[in-house]
Amino acid sequence: MLAGTYDVKFDAASRFTVPARLRAGFDGDVLIVTAGVPIGRNLLLFEEAQFKTYFTSVFRDAAADFDEDQLSVKRFMLGSSATMKLDSAGRGVVPAELLHSVGISEDARVVGIGDMAEIWAVGPHERWRESMDSDEMKIRCADARRRLAAARMGQGGGV
């Protein structure tokens, strides 16, 4: 499982070192990087197999290809994806256009969130973290926990 928050730096060649604790959570040295949604907020980093699993689960309904909004998200995320091969030092190159799309020039933050990691510009990530302390977010998080518990109960898994 990928977890933790790590500050990283990109060099002039759009290369960064994937933190060792995150590298240990990936199988192999070939990763996929793509734009996240909402667009312009962050990038997503997957191992190859998880990338396929993620998109199969998110877009599992064949009718999604006929829904213009869902098709646009699918087209954007898949069309923005790139393969990233890590070198022996754990460094990989992210296409410059992806970095620019989320405002990353040098300093960035990588956050492990289970089966994938997010790559954020530092400023937006800090603003997101601060927003988590708002009353609105506390209510939304409590609601999300209730929905998760209800979904587990519906699957016979308890809380």
pLDDT in tens, 18-56: 999 999 999 989 999 999 887 789 999 999 989 998 888
For residue 23, the Cα-to-chain-centroid distance in whole angstroms is: 15
Q: For position 70, what pLDDT does the model report?
A: 79
Rounded CA-CA distance 130/30 in Å is 33
Of 139, 31, 143, 37, nearest to 87 by C-alpha is: 31
Contact 15, 91 (CB under 8 A): yes
Task: State the pTM of this model.
Answer: 0.85
Domain 2-122 indexed as CATH 3.40.1550.20: yes
Of 28, 72, 81, 23, nearest to 52 by C-alpha is: 81
How far, CA to CA in Å, does 70 sit from each of 19, 51, 60, 101, 120? Answer: 33, 17, 11, 20, 24
Q: For position 19, what pLDDT does the model report?
A: 96
For the chain, the domains span 2-122
| Residue 38: cis peptide before it, omega within 30 degrees of 0 | yes
Within a 10 A sphere around the Cβ of 104, how many other Cβ atoms? Answer: 24
Residues of the chain with pLDDT under 70: 61-65, 155-159
Rounded CA-CA distance 23/27 in Å is 8
